[in-house]
Chain A
Amino acid sequence: NAGVTQTPKFQVLKTGQSMTLQCAQDMNHEYMSWYRQDPGMGLRLIHYSVGAGITDQGEVPNGYNVSRSTTEDFPLRLLSAAPSQTSVYFCASSYSNLAPDTQYFGPGTRLTVL
């Protein structure tokens, strides 16, 4: 198993550009989520999904869109990038949200918005 994979590892955008951060897992996990990590802020939940076709907002959803068309993939879209979105983004997954379980994290994507 590859676990949780994220692409790209690094990205530089200009203000107003759009892009999609990719996340995939091959563990047949129902639950997937996106976090951002900022210095001195820990990790904060952006969006999450409890299964294909179901998504919901986390703590800091503004400026981000998600969709979950398959169990494996959970892309995060920035429609119009802003400097405040400069951060490290982590995707995570776990088997189920109903049975509390350990979340496994991807390697992260470092995004810089100029």
Chain B
Amino acid sequence: AQTVTQSQPEMSVQEAETVTLSCTYDTSESDYYLFWYKQPPSRQMILVIRQEAYKQQNATENRFSVNFQKAAKSFSLKISDSQLGDAAMYFCAYRISQGGSEKLVFGKGTKLTVNP
């Protein structure tokens, strides 16, 4: 079974500090893509960062970076210099394409609180 596990239902961080959200996944595929999505109270799903599994270099987008460990099937998100606007639910997901069949699998999410 292809699953995504986010072991931290809730996390908190002080403003300007760094926090890491964990994610592990289980797949037998070798070619896949990993994503972190942010869902603020508005419910809009916003792409934060993506990682191609064939790339060894970790993706970075401004204050957001990932630690991708393919062998360990781990894909954690690091948020540096946390801001109040980072408070949201964060979902880890992976996407595979197999013979025209598309599949995006999500974890259950981590609720991030940013304390002023």
Contact = CB atoms under 8 A, between A and B. Distances in A.
A42 B43 contact: no
B39 to A, nearest CB: 9
B45 A90 contact: yes
B102 A44 contact: no
A110 B41 CA distance: 13
Given A102-B47, A102-B50, A45 B104 contact: yes
Interface of A is mostly: strand
Contact of B43 (A31, A100, A104, A107): A107
Interface residues of A, number: 25
Contacts of A88: 43
Nearest to B103: A45
- What does DSSP make chain B's interface, helix, strand, loop or mixed? strand
A33 B104 CA distance: 10
B42 A103 contact: no
Band of interface residues on B: 20 to 34
Contacts of A103: 47, 95, 104
A50 B99 CA distance: 12
A2 interface: no
Given A50-B102, A102-B47, 17 more contacts: A31-B102, A33-B104, A41-B108, A42-B4, A42-B91, A42-B106, A42-B107, A43-B45, A43-B93, A88-B43, A92-B104, A97-B97, A97-B102, A100-B96, A103-B47, A103-B95, A107-B44
Interface of A: 31, 33, 40-45, 48, 50, 56, 58, 88, 90, 92, 97-98, 100, 102-105, 107-108, 110
